[in-house]
Amino acid sequence: MIKIEDNFLPEIFFKKITDIFFNHDKIFPWYLSVNVTNQKGDNDYYFGHRIFNYHDGVTSQFYHDFVPIIYFIEYKLDIKVKRILRMKANLYTNQGKQINHQRHIDIQDLNHSVALYCVNDNNGFTMVGNKKIMSKANRIIVFDGSIEHCSNTQTDTAARINININLT
């Protein structure tokens, strides 16, 4: 089952998150990843920022700014979050054409859910199984982590930003 919720966060939290990424007075560190998945593909890169990892704990000074997403997953979607396995921000650059990345499962051999929070509007999308879900600002997509999925870059904005959360 796939849950899609538009206007997910209240405006005050949505603005705080977009401000982290788009306010030039703030510096949000991005790190180049040369593979979107474990399989190599053409133009297969993105910029990432690890926020939380189950093994290492909090890995970003911005962690507390993103915690409201977890709260509203529980409150608005009625999904009990036992633990966060991983939380990271992804930034895909405009490469002049849409690039469909390799299908994958985020964490193998572990029952989990994926929550994908879209930060900005753009014509990029995520395929979850055979369902195409467009990036829309303040949209969250939650699905069973055993479903193969993939990202697709955008051509209408400089960047596509989302927050990927794996949880049980």
- Tell whether 36 is covered by a domain: no
- Tell whether 128 is covered by a domain: no
- Tell whether 12 is covered by a domain: yes
- Name, in order, each residue with C-beta under 8 angstroms of 149's C-beta and a sequence gap of 6 or more: 103, 104, 105, 114, 126, 127, 128, 129, 143
- Tell whether 48 is covered by a domain: yes
| pLDDT(118) > 80 | yes
Q: What is the DSSP letter of 110?
A: S
- Tell whether 131 is covered by a domain: no
Range of the domain at 151: 2-28+41-111+137-167
What mean pLDDT is reported for the chain? 93
Average pLDDT over residues 129-157: 97
Residue 33: the pLDDT is: 86
For the chain, the domain total comes to 1
